[in-house]
Amino acid sequence: DEEKQPASALLWAYYFAAQHFDYKEDTDRALHYIEAAIEHTPTLIELFIVKGRIYKHAGDPVSAYKWLEEAQAMDTADRYVNSKCARYMLRAGHVKQAEEMCSKFTREGVPATEN
């Protein structure tokens, strides 16, 4: 009698396989697994963050920031994702957009150094 695994087990196997192959610098396989994970569960923000990280490690900061921007759009109130997205924007040379992203969590009329 075979024990059935939960559907989420496959998702997390894809997720960790993508990170493993990213660490091993096998970008094609990492992207294959993260895309399979996104196809399985397209609402999980962490998957888009990992996809951005894979592109960052592959030396493509523009694609990396676009995937972080996709993650940020899924939950605009998440400070962690917003700050991560701003960092990726800076790496891609989008300074003005990064400033706008950071301004979402600063107080109006207060210098940035005091926020």
Is the pLDDT assigned to residue 105 strictly greater than 90?
Answer: no
Name the strand (E) or helix (H) holding 50.
helix 45-57
97 token code pair:
């957009």
At 80-104, the pLDDT tens digits run: 999 999 999 999 999 999 988 888 8
Give residues with Cβ within 8 angstroms of 88, minimum separation 6.
52, 56, 61, 64, 65, 68, 69
At 39-83, the pLDDT tens digits run: 999 999 999 999 999 999 999 999 999 999 999 999 988 999 999
CATH architecture of 7-107: Alpha Horseshoe (1.25)
Number of separate helices (H) and strands (E) present in the chain: 6, 0
What pTM did the predictor assign? 0.86
